[in-house]
Amino acid sequence: MYLSRLTLNRSRRALFWAARPYRVHQRLTMACPPPTDSGAGGPVAERLLYRIEANHDATIILVQSPALPDWRAAFQDFAVLARPPEDKALDWPLVEGQLLAFRLRANPTRRQVCDQPGGDGRKRRVGITDELEQLAWLARKGEAAGFRLLRALARQDGLLKDTQTRDDTPRSLAFLSVQFDGALQVLDPERLRAGLAAGIGSGKALGFGLLSLAPLRG
């Protein structure tokens, strides 16, 4: 696995592109090989994940990919970068019981039957808007991915919106966006490595699911 850091320039093209997360995903996939399958009909074991982080100084895109990206293929004729991409091989020397800080931008959802008039009775994903329920969702995802949630702050980023075109038909996208920052404890290193590679939750093509780990300070 590789982790890349893309720093955007201040051009209108860069700002407009970064505001369209599905377009960001399309551009990033030009540089990264397609994901690998764990087996016939099995889930994706490793995939492209990314997170857009904007502050007063710069807009950064963190990209996690199974192989070293070919950024020239994506940005040679698309001048939105302020400097060359920074790449590094990614390793997770995890051990059971280890305490780590984390950041995750996620789309917390639950499946719910549509009760609107004329609904077909099928379950659909709906965003979880209550903060306590969001934290409970994260705790469940953590248990499945091999870690215990110790503490977390949930920053509400509202709805992330974009459009997707399929068969020449535009489709509106709207995903609830929450950034979690906190601390976790490693329960199962192998399961956590798999969770890190596959991403956490839904909406990964819109910049959700990248779990970043760092030494816990303080």
Tens digits of residue pLDDT in 20-50:
999 999 999 999 866 555 444 444 467 899 9
In a domain? residue 192: yes
Q: How far from chain centre, in Å, is Cα 8?
A: 18
Q: Bigger pLDDT: 66 or 56? A: 66
Do 117 and 174 sit in the same domain of this protein? yes
In a shared domain, residues 71 and 105: no
Asked whether residue 172 is domain-assigned, the answer is yes
What confidence score (pLDDT) does residue 208 get?
96
One domain for residues 122 and 144:
yes
Domain of 19, in residue numbers:
2-89
Residues 208 and 144 both lie in one domain = yes
- The verdict on 77 and 110 lying in the same domain is no
Relative to beta strand 169-186, strand 211-215 is unpaired
pLDDT, tens digit, 9 for 90 and up, residues 152-197: 999 999 998 877 766 667 777 789 999 999 999 999 999 999 999 9
Element (H, E) at 131: helix 131-144
- Side by side, the strands of the sheet bearing 211-215 are 147-166, 169-186, 99-106, 211-215
Instruction: Choose one of 89, 107, 123: the last residue of a domain.
Output: 89
Look at the chain and report how many structural domains it folds into. 2
Q: Determine, yes or no, domain membership for 63.
A: yes
